[in-house]
Amino acid sequence: MARSPKAERNGQPVITVTDGTLIPQKGDRGVLSAWNISFFGALIILVTLPLLKPDPYLRILNFIPDGIIATFSVTVSAILGALVVGLIAGLGRISRNKAVNLIATVYVEVIRGIPLLVQLFYIYFALPQLINLTPLGSVIKLDGPSSAIIAMTICYGAYMAEIFRAGIQSIPKGQMEAALALGLSRAQAMRKVILPQTVKVILPPIGNEFIALLKDSSLVSIIAVSDLLRRGREFASTSFMYFESYTVIALVYLVMTLFLSRLVALMEEKLRHHGSHN
């Protein structure tokens, strides 16, 4: 989980480093803000290139829409799965049950120690061999998209678990104690009191993970998923226009990630505004 630039650990400042796109803040609304320059600059270039040179840029744009749809479908499915897995593992990480805590901790440490690319290969190539040795072999068939979704769900679920854990532990303990004093069970207090407050805390890092997952989804092109990058590679390999193809792909990814970062910023601001009125 990315930490605040002002955060400290043992009295020492902690530097924030994240692979997610910068989420624009409330004060970054000037015409010459970094987000505006990056987003509208990429959008203008993406629109201008086909107008100035329809061949090949217009042909490339007509070739990749299904790849964009595949990229979003895999990304959204994986992030939804990762949220569920992350919540369960995150609760396991703070569980008082030693067995549950150990299982959740081992899952987080093992998965975070294996690169996503290796996990993609394992799910797509190795796991089917194990499944075929069981009675489920004739029922379960893993194709490219399903393998990609499973691998990214498992991988990002481990990172989401740490986000949920840190978010839950950031809520003052008095909140839980007060809920228990009012007669709520620990499960009810977690569901009705702690988790709603946690959402406001974890939204920015979850937004960053979603954007990072969108970018990492380009890796699924190596396991027969016709995503945005694979469609660009197909066009480049048949036309030999590598510069033009990858320029368009890079611009489309940039527009998508920056657009999502703005949506996350708007959601965060809306939650903060809603919370200030409650």
> Is 186 within a domain?
yes
* DSSP summary character for residue 14: -
> Is 25 within a domain?
no
Ranges 14-18, 33-37, 75-79, 105-109: which has the least confidence: 14-18
* DSSP summary character for residue 122: I
Are 21 and 211 in contact by the 8 Å Cβ rule? The answer is yes
Q: What percent of the chain has pLDDT over 70?
A: 85
Taking 70 as the threshold, does the pLDDT of residue 27 lie above it? no
Structural domain range at position 245: 31-277
If you average pLDDT over residues 37-52, what whole number do you get? 93
If you average pLDDT over residues 182-187, what whole number do you get? 83
| Single-letter amino acid code for the residue at 169 | Q
> Is 47 within a domain?
yes
Model confidence at 276, in pLDDT bands (50, 70, 90)?
low
**d(Cα 220, Cα 2) in Å, to the nearest integer?**
25
Ranges 16-25, 93-102, 116-125, 201-210: which has the least confidence: 16-25
* pLDDT, tens digit (0-9, with 9 covering 90-100), for 4-14: 434 444 554 54
C-alpha 157: how far from its chain's center? Answer: 9
If you average pLDDT over residues 205-220, what whole number do you get? 91
* pLDDT, tens digit (0-9, with 9 covering 90-100), for 79-133: 999 999 999 999 999 998 999 999 999 999 999 999 999 999 999 998 888 887 7
Q: Give me the pLDDT at residue 254, please.
A: 94
**Could you give the number of structural domains in the chain?**
1
User: What distances in angstroms separate CA 244 from CA 60, 234, 237, one per listed residue?
Assistant: 8, 13, 12
**d(Cα 105, Cα 102) in Å, to the nearest integer?**
5
The beta-carbon contacts of 228-235 under 8 Å, at least 24 apart in sequence, are 228/64, 228/67, 228/68, 228/70, 228/71, 228/252, 228/253, 229/67, 229/71, 230/67, 231/63, 231/64, 231/66, 231/67, 232/60, 232/64, 232/67, 234/63, 235/56, 235/59, 235/60, 235/63, 235/64
> Is 21 within a domain?
no
For residue 147, give the CATH number of its domain: 1.10.3720.10
**d(Cα 113, Cα 138) in Å, to the nearest integer?**
32
> Is 100 within a domain?
yes
Q: Count Cβ atoms below 10 Å from residue 159 Cβ, excluding itself.
A: 22
